[in-house]
Amino acid sequence: MIERPAVPLSRASADADGSAAFALDVRYYLSQDPRQLPSRYLYDELGSCLFEAICRLPWYPVMRAEARLLDAHRHEVFAAADPLSRIVELGPGSGEKVATLVGGRDRSAGTLEVHLIDVSPTALTLSTRTLSGFESVRVVAHEAPYEVGLTELRDAPPTQGRTLVLFLGSNIGNFDPPGADEFLREIRAALSPGDFLLLGTDLVKPERVLQLAYDDPLGVTAAFNRNLLVQINRELGGDFDLESFAHRALWKATESRVEMHLVSLRRQVVRVEAAELELTLDADESIWTESSYKYQDATVALVVERAGFEPVVRWIDADDRFDLTLAKAV
């Protein structure tokens, strides 16, 4: 997805910066061909709860596969990245993943700083609480976009020991390939040679497995997707009729991605007041809301190398096809 250029709204219809940016994005992306909405807006408070629920669904294996790998190999991560004085997690969620990792640390090791970077205060409170029981762990929360948090860390390197950045949960899959390269380079730029990256990436698997993972029989993923429209109605005065949009998940083999769409079930006119937008959607016209890229075994190493890292160890969950790669900044 390309970035929206900075276009001011003619009317100051949304006062807070956040909702003004939301209004601009909604107007810009819904006017594109094909119509789109940026996937970062899936995670309002309700959306984050729905995503937590998705992670517990039997059909969505990403989090469970990654948790198994972290649990099985956490001692090896500390051994390979020794001496580690700082762990940074981008998007810590509930903090369970970093807690699993930290639980594998040798108790006699010195103080460990854990930096959590997220725009969501709820995620930061939750993950800080999850880590509160660990001795000799100092938690620092950065309520900021990843890029800003990474710059703060680059400007305050540790006086001794290595830094390990965690980018887990296959969040890399929500970037298109050029965006993934660029973001990994930004991580690399915040680090020094000899620091580490632990990257969790979902791999290509059979289409029926992917289809169920992104269109589950309980309809939780459909609710997660439709909640975007709920948010637009609530925050921007939209009049989307939820019943008139179907959730659709499509596997695009050539692009190696699962796409989520909201498909208009009839010809309809939708207005979004704060975005100064009126659109006519044809029957079967879709709004593209997310891409989830799935990697081949070989491409994970290439992507990491292109960003200035050298893969040190890779662990692959054979059942659910998930890759955890530890890479060293060169």
Residues in contact with ligand AVI by CB under 6 A are 54, 62, 169-171, 173-174, 214, 221, 290, 292
Nearer to ligand AVI, 78 or 146 (CB): 146
Nearer to ligand AVI, 93 or 161 (CB): 93
Nearest approach in angstroms of CB 57 to ligand AVI is 9
Q: At what angle are helices 297-306 and 177-189 packed, to 10 degrees?
A: 50
Q: Name the nearest CA neighbour of 295 among 324, 326, 260.
A: 324
Quickly count: other Cβ atoms within 10 Å of residue 7's Cβ.
9
Q: Where are the beta strands (DSSP E) in 66-223?
A: 84-90, 112-118, 137-143, 162-167, 196-202
CA 117 to mean position of chain CA atoms: 12
Nearer to ligand AVI, 174 or 299 (CB): 174
Nearest approach in angstroms of CB 27 to ligand AVI is 24
Nearer to ligand AVI, 128 or 211 (CB): 211
Query: Are the C-beta atoms of 183 and 172 separated by less than 8 Å?
Result: yes
Nearer to ligand AVI, 65 or 124 (CB): 65
Q: What CA–CA distance (Å, rounded) separates 165 from 193?
A: 13
Nearer to ligand AVI, 8 or 178 (CB): 178
Nearest approach in angstroms of CB 320 to ligand AVI is 12
Nearer to ligand AVI, 195 or 320 (CB): 320
Nearest approach in angstroms of CB 47 to ligand AVI is 10
Nearest approach in angstroms of CB 26 to ligand AVI is 19
Nearest approach in angstroms of CB 15 to ligand AVI is 30
Nearest approach in angstroms of CB 73 to ligand AVI is 20
Q: Name the nearest CA neighbour of 225 among 259, 198, 199, 196.
A: 259
Q: Which residues of 37-65 are buried (b: 16+ CB within 10 A; e: fewer)?
A: bbbebbbbeebbebbebbbebebbbbbbb
Shortest Cβ contact with ligand AVI: which residue? 292
Query: Are the C-beta atoms of 59 and 213 separated by less than 8 Å?
Result: yes
Q: What CA–CA distance (Å, rounded) separates 207 from 297?
A: 17
Amino acid 316 reads I
